[in-house]
Amino acid sequence: MPKTVSHGTQRLYVKKDITMSMVGSTYSDEKSILKDAFQRMVDLITLNHVIDGINPSSLVLTCVNIVVHTPDDELNFGADESYNLTVPTTGDPLYAQIEAQTVFGALHGLQTFSQLCYFGFTSRLIELNSAPWIITDAPRFPYRGLLIDTARHYLPVKIIKGVIDAMTYSKLNVLHWHIVDEQSFPIEVPSYPKLWNGSYSYSERYTMSDAIDIVRYAERRGVNVLAEIDVPGHARSWGIGYPSLWPSDICREPLDVSKNFTFEVIDGILSDFSKVFKFKFAHLGGDEVNTSCWTTTPHIEGWLNNNHMNVSDAYRDFVLRSQKIAISHGYDIINWEETFNNFGDKLDRKTVVHNWLGEDVAPKVVAAGLRCIVSNQDKWYLDHLDASWEGFYMNEPLKGINDTKQQQLVIGGEVCMWGEEIDASDIEQTIWPRAAAAAERLWTPTEKLANDTRFVTSRLARFRCLLNQRGVAAAPLAGYGRSSPTGPGPCVRQ
Amino acid sequence: MPPNVPAYLLLALILAGTAASAARRHSPPVNATSAGAPVYIWPLPSSATSGNRTLTVDPDLALDPKGPGGASPAVAEAFQRYRGLVFAPWAHAARSRGGRYDVAKLTVVVASANETLALGVDESYAIYVAAAGGVNSIVGGATIEANTIYGAIRGLETFSQLCVFNYDTKNVEVRNAPWHILDEPRFPFRGLLLDTSRHYLPVDVIKQVIDSMSFAKLNVLHWHIIDEQSFPLEVPSYPNLWKGSYSKWERYTVEDAQDIVSYAKKRGINVMAEIDVPGHAESWGNGYPKLWPSPNCTEPLDVSSNFTFEVISGILSDMRKIFPFGLFHLGGDEVYTGCWNVTPHVKQWLNKHNMTTKDAYKYFVLKAQELAIKLNWIPVNWEETFNSFKENLNPLTVVHNWLGPGVCPKVVEKGFRCIMSNQGVWYLDHLDVPWEDVYSGEPLEGISNKDQQKLVLGGEVCMWGETADTSDVLQTIWPRAAAAAERMWSPLEAISAQDLETTVLSRLHYFRCLLNHRGIAAAPVTNYYARRPPIGPGSCFVQ
């Protein structure tokens, strides 16, 4: 739901070959970001229908003029995503206008415009009801994320692109790519080519070119890609190619804290990543570190003793040393909340703490002056099939934070699609429509959010049908996540 | 042989032919490469010989069209599609400058320029892939030879499955070359039913299903458009029928349907439309309540009123302009005639014509058949029509089995043609049928007479839509439909020669991963129940 909306009662028709202009823009669209987005928008509202109704002599929108005020086309964290959209009922020619500070704000304006339009099966024209429209809009949070996990199951590039497309329909803007975990290491790392041996199979892999392709695809749609390596706890697969990263052959996790080689590899990975993943942040994981292998492996036990460290110290030092490496490659760091819970005062001050365990963490993080991303698992973990869309909708990232300065430290939230039971066959219907409920929570100003989800049901059902129309396998609202429809019926009632 | 095929090609084909006939004498298993590895082509070709060389394929692979049909836009379009499937979007940019590739062009020789797609169209093709200077080859490169563009399209699918990406060199390669493949389908009718009445399926989703069908060489989309729940298709002659759609968005215009038909045709897939009369047609009456026996007894269609048959005739005439396929499905299953008996004016009509409800059912079906035949359609009917009044069915009728095994033998014995969809193995909405059972479904089971065997046109897997919508239709169809697709395409001997739990399973895993790679949400193979999520982390190739 946009920030402010006013509308009238007039039905307009959208000309079949509606054009785009950029009168008044200081943005040149050299990379064709806007032009391509406009074409995609036209395809979405046309949906391959033959548009051959007779246009009335007036009330026909012939053009969308897009005014972008800054020439920059690099997607950055905190980029101005606001836009104004006006659809008037008078003018000759009649044209809609999108005004935005950046091209990425304009992309959101096009998404909103696409949701005003639909194919009229009787008029055989694209209709736009309730004009004139005046919409001003901006996101509440700069970070609106979705996590995908390509380590528990490999996801083909086509599938990831499908996820990115669907994200743009609900204005999510960060794809958190949990690339690697203990089960598999699918991505190519030129500096340490054997890491790739940790992939599930010869072909369940991403080349660097694939990663660049994905990042570029996302950026052109206003979506940042946040890459994660989850150290030291979730990294067993690294040792398939380099067994010396394991404490020992029989005790393989966490990564060997005692060896310089471990940090050389991390440096190599992040150095390679920095050429591909241009987002301001890198995610370094740091969750669920079970350090027992460090104490049971003699050479590490010896190293700990020599350095007068216990395993908690070693865990802390591992995380902090990794942070320094990432910072040296120009990244700001995101870490899972265990790092904050254990040694929050030692974390680099630029660290963003990524909550997941419970819902009372963000207040503590921001009270300590660090930034926070909210993903409390009880509400925003998509792999929890019993987490309802109502719960996704009502989960408030600022809950328990009253100080406005502290509120600003919450940069947003993220829904997490962990991959243990997710592969190419069921990812879309497990993500949608529940992720859309969270997307509204993250975008829409508090005063416009529904206090009672009963007022959301029909809008969300509609949005789910829209996703279906666009070829996205969003599941029915009823039942647990990704439930099949229980019987025949119209899309909006399921 | 087309007159303008260059001599070197002829020679290559003759040599290849010799190799193939030699191979047949030694009858090597078609499911294994020369090195003994499984052949990862789904469905298995009729005959294939391979070698031990690895050939690189140029990311700028060029199409070299030959023969009267080679230059058909359909071939060029299919070539582009497959090039997009085989190569990553960045492949062209990564191409080594001045690099030498073993396969730089794909010659496609098509003997006929006729683009008519009909039941029984020649889908055979031959593929020859070899390196220049190889012992067995005259010239390097890849050639597909077919009599029709549809054979060429099948060949392109097979060729795309021979191409694999090498993650070390970043090249696409054909391994185990030289390859020589001769292939043709066992049955001319290899169908998949989609049901857009229980749940509306957006056009885009139907197109995804059509794409995926072409990957498994299925060739008939049986579109069960309408049923008692909703009437999503526009019928210009009777525009109120559309009021039976679930909502004003869950509809297909005539042009949408035409778009689907032409999209399918480009992939060598026929669209067989169905109206299921008189039993599954309640939604018709939303626009024309007179079609119901009465407002409180709404099914089957009113047999006593001429208007009923006028509407059927109108629908059929309108549909004839959309669906060029020679077969049209008239349903005829599950007809509960209770409403005819309890509605006074229908009962009166029955009495007047001295008919029982059973007679009226027969009368209805036969009359609908005549209307379809008049429009030059071959009528297809569900098996209840055969079971109830086989002696009266029009001899043109194709009987569509579904209730159980053993029906097609009876059908062909009476001289009718048959399509096998035994629900015990080929109903995809039966989630408790694992892939092995689907694979075991045999359309010719119980038919030993050769002439009778020819009356079995093939089979069809049915994706009834009660619990299948956009969110789950693809993973309910795949990978099980692929098991039936191989059964209907590949030679019976080749199918029987494979070990189910080793060779076939690993090949099906491979094909399922290929579907995923192409963006199709095929479910894990080895879950007992269909469309279940993977049971835990793991490789696509073992789940």
Interchain CB distance below 8 Å, A159 and B519: yes
Contacts of B540 in chain A (CB under 8 A): 153-154, 200-201, 204, 423-424
Query: d(Cα B250, Cα A364) in Å, to the nearest integer?
Result: 49
- Catalytic residue, chosen from B334, B370, B436, B445, is B334
HSE toward the beta carbon, residue B333, CA cutoff 13 A? 17
Span A158-169, mean pLDDT?
98
Residue A38 CA to residue A200 CA, distance in Å, equals: 39
List the single residue in A157, A202, A485 with the smallest CB-CB distance to B199: A485
pLDDT at site B27: 46
CA distance A47 to A120: 12
- DSSP helix/strand/coil, A159: helix
Fold of the domain built from segment(s) B47-183? Chitobiase; domain 2 (3.30.379)
- pLDDT (tens digit per residue) in B100-111: 899 999 999 999
A454 Cβ partners below 8 Å, 6+ apart?
none
State the helix-helix crossing angle for B203-215 and B149-162, rounded to 10 degrees. Answer: 80
The first and second tokens of residue B75, run together, are 């071939």
**A97-145 pLDDT per residue, tens:** 999 999 999 999 999 999 999 999 999 999 999 999 999 999 999 999 9
> Are the C-beta atoms of B475 and B521 separated by less than 8 Å?
yes
What is the nearest CA distance from A450 to chain B, expressed in angstroms? 26
Here the tokens at position A460 are: 């969300």
Count of CB atoms within 10 A of residue A16's CB?
A: 16
**B471/A470 CB distance under 8 A:** no
CB contact under 8 A, A207 and B475: no
The label of the residue with tokens 């066992």 reads B186
- State both tokens at A226: 């946040």
For the annotated catalytic residues of A, the residue numbers are: 288
- What is the average pLDDT score of chain B? 92
pLDDT digits (tens, 9 = 90+) for B323-371: 999 999 999 999 999 999 999 999 999 999 999 999 999 999 999 999 9
DSSP code at position B466: T
B294 three-state secondary structure:
strand
Contacts of A299 (CB under 8 A, 6+ apart): A258
In the beta sheet, which residues pair with residue A282?
A333
pLDDT in tens, B154-169: 999 999 999 999 999 9
Task: Give how far B311 is from chain A: nearest CA, Å.
Answer: 21
Of A118, A429, A469, the CB nearest to B471: A429
Amino acid type, B2 = P
Chains A and B: how many Cβ contacts under 8 Å?
191
Residues B486-502: what's their mean pLDDT?
92
CB B192 within 8 Å of CB B214:
no
Length of chain A: 494
pLDDT digits (tens, 9 = 90+) for B463-493: 999 999 999 999 999 999 999 999 999 999 9
Q: A400-413: buried (b, 16+ CB within 10 Å) or exposed (e) per residue?
A: ebeeeebeebbbbb
**Confidence band for B62, pLDDT divided at 50, 70 and 90:** very high
State whether B469 and A153 contact (CB < 8 Å): no
Chain B residues with beta carbon closer than 8 angstroms to that of A157? 88
In CATH terms, the superfamily for domain A4-137 is: Chitobiase/beta-hexosaminidase domain 2-like (3.30.379.10)
CA distance B55 to B102: 5
A63-80 per-position pLDDT tens digit: 999 999 999 999 989 999
- Domain range summary for chain B, segments of one domain joined by +: 47-183, 189-499+516-531
Q: What angle do CA B108, B109, B112 make, to 5 degrees?
A: 130
Terminal CA-to-CA distance of chain A, rounded, Å? 22
pLDDT band at B3 (very low <50, low <70, confident <90, very high): very low
- The answer on pLDDT for B12 being more than 70 is no
Write the CB contacts of A378 (distance below 8 Å, at least 6 apart in sequence): A358, A359, A384, A387, A391
Whether B47-183 shares its CATH topology with B189-499+516-531 is answered no
**DSSP element (H, E) containing B461:** strand B456-463
For residue B137, pLDDT beyond 50: no
- Tell me if A50 and B253 make a contact (CB, 8 A cut-off): yes
Q: How far is A235 from chain B (nearest CA, A)?
A: 15
Distance CA B101, CA B141 (A): 9
User: Chain A partners of B249 at a C-beta cutoff of 8 Å?
Assistant: 118, 121, 465, 469, 491
| Number of other residues whose CB lies within 10 A of the CB of residue B415 | 11
According to the model, what pLDDT value does residue A137 have? 98
Predicted interface score ipTM higher than 0.90: yes
Q: How far is B351 from chain A (nearest CA, A)?
A: 37
pTM score, whole prediction: 0.94
Note the pLDDT of residue B36. 80
- Provide the pLDDT confidence category of residue B28 given band limits of 50, 70 and 90: low
Structure tokens at B519: 């963006």
Please answer whether residues A207 and A213 qualify as being in contact, where contact means their C-beta atoms are separated by less than 8 angstroms: no
| Interface probe, candidates A129, A201, A423, chain B, greatest B C-beta count within 10 A | A423
pLDDT digit string, tens, across residues B223-257: 999 999 999 999 999 999 999 999 999 999 999 99
Percentage with pLDDT > 70 across chain B: 93
Residue A247: asked if its preceding bond is cis (omega within 30°), the reply is no
- Looking at residue B7, what is its pLDDT? 39
Hunting for tokens 């029915």 — which residue is that?
A476
Contact B205 A151 (CB under 8 A): no
- CA A46 from chain center: how many Å? 27
Q: Cα–Cα distances in Å, from A390 out to A163, A178, A375, B402?
A: 22, 26, 15, 42
Nearest Cβ partner of A486 from B250, B467, B520? B467
Q: Is the per-residue pLDDT at B18 higher than 80?
A: no
Query: Confidence class of residue B98 from pLDDT cuts 50, 70 and 90?
Result: confident
Polymer length of chain B: 543
Sign of CA dihedral A398, A404, A405, A411: positive
| Phi, then psi, of A149 in degrees rounded to 5 | -125, 110
Q: How many whole angstroms from its chain centre is CA B537?
A: 32
Each domain of chain A, given as residue ranges in start order, spans: 4-137, 143-281+315-470
* pLDDT per position as a tens digit, A355-375: 999 889 999 999 999 999 999
Helix H or strand E encompassing B360? helix B357-374
| pLDDT tier at B139, thresholds 50, 70, 90 | low
Residues on chain A touching B516 (C-beta within 8 angstroms): 156, 159, 423-425
Q: How far is A486 from chain B (nearest CA, A)?
A: 6
Q: Which amino acid does the sequence have at A315?
A: Y
Q: How confident is the model at residue A382 (pLDDT cuts 50, 70, 90)?
A: very high
Q: How far is it, in rounded angstroms, from Cα B231 to Cα B246?
A: 8
Indicate the pLDDT class of residue B19, thresholds 50, 70 and 90. very low
CATH, domain B189-499+516-531, list 3.40.50.410, 3.20.20.80, 3.30.2320.50, 1.10.730.10: 3.20.20.80
Closest to A443 (Cα-Cα) out of A468, A415, A401, A467: A415
pLDDT for B29: 60
Q: Which residues of A touch B206 (CB under 8 A)?
A: none
Q: Do the chains contact at B516 and A424, CB–CB below 8 Å?
A: yes
Chain B residues whose CB is inside 8 A of the A118 CB are 249
Tell me the chain A residues in contact with residue B242 when contact means C-beta distances shorter than 8 Å: 121
Which residues, 6 or more positions from B22, have their beta carbon under 8 angstroms from its beta carbon?
A: none
Would you call A488 and B256 a contact, using CB atoms and an 8 Å cutoff?
no
Measured distance CA(A358)–CA(A370) in Å, rounded: 17
DSSP E strands: which ranges in B203-261?
220-224
Q: Is B299 a catalytic residue?
A: no
Q: What is the pLDDT of residues A269-283, one digit of tens each?
A: 999 999 999 999 999
State mean pLDDT over B387-413: 97
Q: Which two tokens stand for residue B37?
A: 């590895």
Give contacts of A152 with chain B, Cβ < 8 Å: 537
Residues whose CB is less than 8 angstroms from the CB of residue A48 and which lie 6 or more positions away in sequence, other chains included: B203, B204, B256, B259
Q: Name the residue type at position B105.
A: K
Task: Over range A443-465, report the average pLDDT.
Answer: 96
Architecture of domain A143-281+315-470: Alpha-Beta Barrel (3.20)
Between chains, do A471 and B205 touch, taking CB under 8 Å as contact? yes
- The first and second tokens of residue A447, run together, are 């005063």
Q: Closest residue of B to A149, CA-based?
A: B537
Q: Cβ B516–A465 below 8 Å, yes or no?
A: no
The whole-number pLDDT of residue B13 equals 41
And the tokens for B48? Answer: 């294939």
How far, in Å, CA of B401 to CA of A264, rounded?
66
**What is the spatial distance between Cα B531 and Cα B521, in angstroms, rounded to a whole number?**
10
Q: What percent of chain A clears pLDDT 70, i.e. is strictly above it?
A: 100
Query: Rounded mean pLDDT of A25-40?
Result: 97
Helix (H) or strand (E) holding A18: strand A4-21
Helix (H) or strand (E) holding B106: strand B103-110
- Hey, are the CB atoms on A203 and B167 less than 8 Å from each other? yes
- Helices A260-276 and A208-219 pack at an angle, to 10 degrees, of 50
pLDDT at B33: 82
How far is the alpha carbon of A472 from chain B, nearest alpha carbon, in Å?
Answer: 7
Structure tokens at A114: 């696409």
Q: CA-nearest residue of chain A to B515?
A: A424
| Cβ distance of B255 and A50 shorter than 8 Å | yes
Please tell me whether the peptide bond between B43 and the residue prior to it is cis, using omega within 30 degrees of 0: yes
- pLDDT tens digit string along A459-475? 999 999 999 999 999 99
Q: Pinpoint the alpha helices (H) of A284-336.
A: 292-296, 298-306, 311-328
Determine, for residues A153 and B540 on separate chains, whether the beta-carbon distance falls below 8 Å: yes
Q: In Å, how far is B434's CA from the nearest CA of chain A?
A: 17
**Cα(B8)–Cα(B16) distance, rounded to whole angstroms?**
12
Both tokens of residue A69?
């005020």
Q: Which residues of A touch B471 (CB under 8 A)?
A: 428-429, 468, 473-476, 482, 484-485
